[in-house]
Amino acid sequence: MKRRADPPVPAPADRGEERAKLIGLGKRSISKSYYPELRARLEELERFRGLLDQVSDAIFVVDAVSGLVLDASGAVKAMLGCAAGELKGIEFAKLLPEHIARYAANLFNHKNEVLQLETEFHHPVCGDAPAVPVEMSLRLVEQQGDRCAVIVARDISERRRNEEALRKSHDELEIRVRERTRELDRANRAKSEFLSIVSHELRTPLTSVLGFAKITRKKLAETVFPAVESCGDEKVRREMIRAGRNLDIIVSEGERLTALINDVLDLAKLEANRIDYRMERLRPGEFIERSMEASDAMFEEAGLAFLAEVADDLPRVRGDRDRLIQVLVNLFSNAAKFTDKGSVTCRAERAGGYVKISVADTGTGIPQPLLGAIFDKFVQGEGSLADRPRGTGLGLPICRHIIEGHGGHIWAESGEGAGSRFVFTLPALRE
């Protein structure tokens, strides 16, 4: 049998030429066409990697099956104190707190496209190193059939410090507010007690002065003045008229001061919650009618129309009859005081689970800047109108306390020169 010839062995000169070609030194070297492009791509990747290492977030690529770190970049060293290369091949769970690490497998099997949570990263080697609070975002991706998790972690230590400082400031402020509130409550109670004591001390002698003034005026009118009138002396008659007017002023101012003292006492009791309401089932129409009867003479004297529009089907309310009459009489008095002409109308209607009662006038109205403070103590609705009779400035605060004590609300609606409307609500009872 004829032996098969072996393939020819290339000459040594041919082998050297092939090696030179492969390493890019020969005349037909492949580097002339591919190597420059490959080198440019590698340099581009190196630049991108360098930029990636400068970002403030740490980036991890983790095998979703084994949980091992495949790659790490970004602010890994600044965050954990070790180079990115040292983390390759370790379990990602070692970076997490124990209560999350035991469920680390669930992180790589969730159904959400992106998972976000706040946690802490621990140094994988140095157990004594302080934990770093992070905000972590995890996204699952598939690459060439392998499932990986791309994890971006941001150091939120500064934010946590700011939040802690804010919380401490808030706690300190809250403590100061509580202390200040207690001080104000103590001062308010002391003020109320002082006003109550002073008012009681003033009311007793004032009652005597007012009583004697009324008796003196009556005796002069019945006995002294008729006798003096018969003497025919013009000078004596003028002095008699002046004395009568002076007594009228004493009685009028005494009654006004008595009303002020009574208001102060009422307000002190209301603010101290020392008012015992005599609560009963009431028909709104009944105490509205009683209030209008008590105020009717005031409107007749002022020449104003006094109207009522009360719905027939109003439910009953639970309240103190005398106190609710006090509220309405006060509102009627204010309306008459600041209405030169026109009318004052009291309306009552059902509004959901409440009975709504309003007192509307066609008077001067309340300036808008004053409207929000009209229920504060010692605020006068008339402002600079010197020709108006001045009140105590306590009537509306007393009304507010009484209505709120009945579980209702009171407010004012007005425009300067367009009249005023005071409205309050009372909870309706179920029949």
| Residue 304: closest CA among 331, 259, 337 | 337
Name which of 29-33, 230-234, 238-242, 336-340 the model is least confident about.
29-33
Higher pLDDT pick, 27 / 404: 404
In this structure, what token pair is assigned to residue 266?
């009422």
Helices (H) then strands (E): counts for the chain? 13, 12
Residues 6+ apart with CB under 8 A from 346: 288, 291, 292, 307, 308, 309, 310, 328, 332, 357, 358, 359
Average pLDDT for residues 411-430, to the nearest whole number? 90
Tell me the per-residue pLDDT of 375-393, one tens digit each, with 9 for 90 and over: 887 676 544 444 445 556 7
Average pLDDT, stretch 242-269? 81
Span 100-117, average pLDDT: 79
Q: How confident is the model at residue 280 (pLDDT cuts 50, 70, 90)?
A: very high
* Contact of 263 with 395, CB cutoff 8 Å: yes
Q: Does the CA dihedral 73-76-81-82 come out positive or negative?
A: negative
The pLDDT of residue 14: 53
Tell me, what's the pLDDT at 225?
79
The dihedral formed by the CA atoms of 74, 80, 82 and 87, expressed in degrees to the nearest 10: -70
The predicted structure's pLDDT at residue 46? 64
| Predicted pLDDT of residue 40 | 66
* pLDDT value of position 9: 46
Predicted local distance difference test score (pLDDT) of residue 15? 46
Q: Using 50, 70 and 90 to split pLDDT, how confident is the model at 72? A: confident
Pair type for strands 132-143 and 114-121: antiparallel
C-alpha 188: how far from chain center: 24
For residue 56, give Cα distances in angstroms to 10, 75, 81, 304, 364: 58, 5, 14, 78, 67
Q: Which helix (H) or strand (E) holds 293?
A: helix 284-302
Is 221 or 8 the better-scoring residue by pLDDT? 221
131: pLDDT strictly greater than 80:
yes
Q: What angle do CA 206, 208, 209 make, to 5 degrees?
A: 65
Compare 64 and 232 and report the one with higher pLDDT.
Answer: 64
What mean pLDDT is predicted for residues 280-300?
Answer: 93
Q: Residue 78: pLDDT band by 50, 70, 90 thresholds?
A: confident
Q: What's the whole-model pTM score?
A: 0.52
Measured CA to CA, the distance from residue 379 to residue 371 in angstroms comes to: 10
Lowest mean pLDDT among 46-50, 216-220, 384-388, 424-428: 384-388
* pLDDT value of position 19: 47
| Among 107, 117, 121, 160, CA closest to 137 | 117
Q: Per-residue pLDDT tens for 294-342?
A: 899 889 988 999 999 999 889 999 999 999 999 999 999 999 988 989 9
Residue with token string 């946690």: 119
Residue 395 pLDDT exceeds 80: yes
431 CB contacts (<8 Å, ≥6 apart)? 315, 316
- How does the average pLDDT of the chain come out, rounded? 81
Q: Give residue-wise pLDDT tens across range 158-191.
A: 888 999 999 999 999 999 999 999 998 888 778 7
Residue 301 corresponds to which tokens in the numbers above?
């004297």
202 band by pLDDT with thresholds 50, 70 and 90: confident
Report the range of poorest mean pLDDT among 44-58, 70-84, 393-407.
Answer: 44-58
Burial of residue 281 (CB within 10 Å: 0-12, 13-18, 19+) is exposed
Query: CA-to-CA distance for 193 and 178, rounded, in angstroms?
Result: 22
pLDDT over 60 at 209, yes or no:
yes
pLDDT band at 35 (very low <50, low <70, confident <90, very high): low
**Confidence category of residue 428, pLDDT binned at 50, 70, 90:** very high
In order of their start, the domains of the chain are: 53-155 (3.30.450.20), 176-271 (1.10.287), 279-427 (3.30.565.10)
Q: How far apart are CA 267 and CA 261, in angstroms?
A: 10
Q: What pLDDT does residue 392 have?
A: 63
Q: Does the pLDDT of residue 25 top 60, yes or no? A: no
Q: What is the pLDDT of residue 381?
A: 58
Of 97, 92, 102, nearest to 150 (Cα)? 92
What contacts 349, CB < 8 A, 6 or more positions away?
311, 314, 355, 356
CA contacts within 13 A on the Cβ side of 351: 15
The residues near 401 (Cβ < 8 Å, ≥ 6 apart) are 267, 270, 271, 275
**What confidence score (pLDDT) does residue 384 get?**
40
Residue % of the chain over a pLDDT of 90: 27
Residue 375: phi, psi to the nearest 5? Answer: -95, 5
Among 49-63, 112-126, 133-147, 289-303, the range with the most confident prediction by mean pLDDT is 289-303
Q: Which of 15-24, 231-240, 305-314, 350-359 has the lowest mean pLDDT?
A: 15-24
